[in-house]
């Protein structure tokens, strides 16, 4: 069975959280999405290399604002090095507030939509392979107006908002790198994964291997009978399991007299293409 993901995404109310997970997967790295109230136990039990704090619509000053467990700030990897942290939008504001920076409301000056950030004359490794001036997607009502002690400001927007900050293994960005409206967002997330020393652990074929390994571990050397409609789902599952179980796998299709003309022939052909034995049963 594959090992658990080495990246945890803590969901803090963002509409884009699934996009973070999908973008990491496109970069070849698996991740797990955790509810902030249940994250503490998972973080204690499972080794990680990186934590991403999502954005969200709340203010860090709201009474019931979502909060990740504070231990994310002191998590250590198995090799004794600090777990890398990336705070996105609200996640960056939470980091700033809890580490001694200052966050203020942008009432009347909320930034939403396309913005341009300036990274200055020298580009931090977090922005490797991206331009010093680039378009990003903003969505925030509060802003970090003063970074915590020890943090470097990596860039500003045209309005003077702090767009990114960093200190050691902790990074924060006020914009959303996971959305397509941030053209260089995928490169930025790739840089974060590299700085966090996250190895590629996902590719489409690994999903197939995971399903096969899981089926074998549960079913062992038993014979398997399952319903086969000839549709996409049953045909795909057959193609995945047939190489593992071979003659012990039997697909059953039921002819209840309501099939379209020629549909039985299609079902037989799909079973043949999937490499699975098929039995037609009259209802």
C-alpha distance from residue 176 to each of 51, 62, 218 (Å)? 16, 21, 41
Classify 13 in phi/psi space as left (phi over 0), alpha (psi -120 to 50) or beta: left
- Phi, psi for residue 270 in degrees, rounded to 5: -65, -40
Q: Catalytic site residue 114?
A: no
One pLDDT digit (tens) per residue for the chain, 283 residues: 457 899 999 999 999 999 999 999 999 999 999 999 889 989 989 999 999 999 998 889 888 899 999 999 999 999 999 999 999 999 999 999 999 999 988 765 566 778 999 997 667 899 999 999 999 998 767 889 899 999 999 999 888 889 999 999 999 999 999 999 999 999 999 999 999 999 998 776 667 777 888 888 888 889 999 899 989 989 999 999 999 999 999 999 998 888 888 888 999 999 999 999 999 998 7
Annotated catalytic residue, options 89, 111, 140, 198: 89
Contact call for residues 101 and 147 (beta carbons, < 8 A) = yes
Q: Catalytic site residue 102?
A: no
Burial of 253 (0-12, 13-18, 19+ CB in 10 A): buried
What pLDDT does 1 receive? 47
Q: Catalytic site residue 178?
A: yes
Count how many Cα atoms sit within 13 Å of the Cα of residue 270 in the half-sphere of its side chain. 20
Query: How much of the chain, in percent, has pLDDT values that exceed 70?
Result: 95
Shortest CA distance to 98 belongs to which of 71, 80, 77, 64? 71
Burial of 90 (0-12, 13-18, 19+ CB in 10 A): buried
Three-class secondary structure of residue 261 per DSSP: coil
Annotated catalytic residue, options 11, 21, 140, 176: 176
Annotated catalytic residue, options 11, 178, 198, 270: 178
Across 21-90, the runs of DSSP E, i.e. the strands, are 32-34, 50-53, 84-88
pLDDT tens, 80-134? Answer: 999 999 999 999 999 999 999 999 887 655 667 789 999 976 678 999 999 999 9
């Amino acid at each position: 069975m594959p090992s658990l993901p080495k990246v945890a995404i803590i969901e803090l109310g963002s509409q884009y959280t699934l996009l973070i997970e999908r973008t990491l997967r496109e970069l070849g790295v698996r991740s797990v999405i955790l509810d902030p109230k249940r994250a503490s136990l998972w973080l204690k039990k499972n080794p990680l290399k990186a934590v991403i704090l999502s954005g969200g619509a709340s203010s860090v000053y709201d009474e019931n604002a979502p909060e990740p467990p504070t231990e994310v700030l002191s998590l250590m990897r198995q090799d004794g090095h600090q777990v890398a942290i990336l705070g996105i939008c609200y996640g960056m504001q939470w980091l700033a507030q809890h580490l001694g920076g200052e966050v203020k409301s942008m009432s009347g000056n909320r930034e939403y939509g396309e913005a341009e950030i300036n990274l200055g004359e020298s580009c931090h490794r977090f922005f490797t392979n991206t331009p010093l001036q680039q378009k990003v997607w903003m969505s925030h009502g509060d802003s970090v107006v003063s970074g915590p002690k020890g943090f470097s400001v990596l860039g500003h927007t045209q309005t003077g908002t702090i767009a990114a900050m960093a200190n050691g293994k902790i990074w924060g960005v006020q914009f959303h790198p996971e959305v397509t409206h941030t053209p260089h967002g995928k490169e930025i997330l790739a840089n974060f994964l590299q700085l966090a020393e996250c190895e590629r652990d996902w590719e489409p074929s690994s999903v197939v291997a995971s399903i096969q390994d899981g089926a074998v571990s549960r079913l062992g050397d038993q014979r398997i009978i399952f319903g086969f409609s000839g549709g996409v789902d049953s045909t795909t599952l057959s193609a995945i399991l047939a190489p593992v179980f071979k003659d012990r796998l039997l697909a059953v299709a039921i002819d209840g007299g309501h099939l379209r003309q020629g549909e039985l022939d299609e079902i037989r052909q799909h079973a043949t293409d999937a490499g699975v034995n098929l039995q037609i049963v009259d209802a």
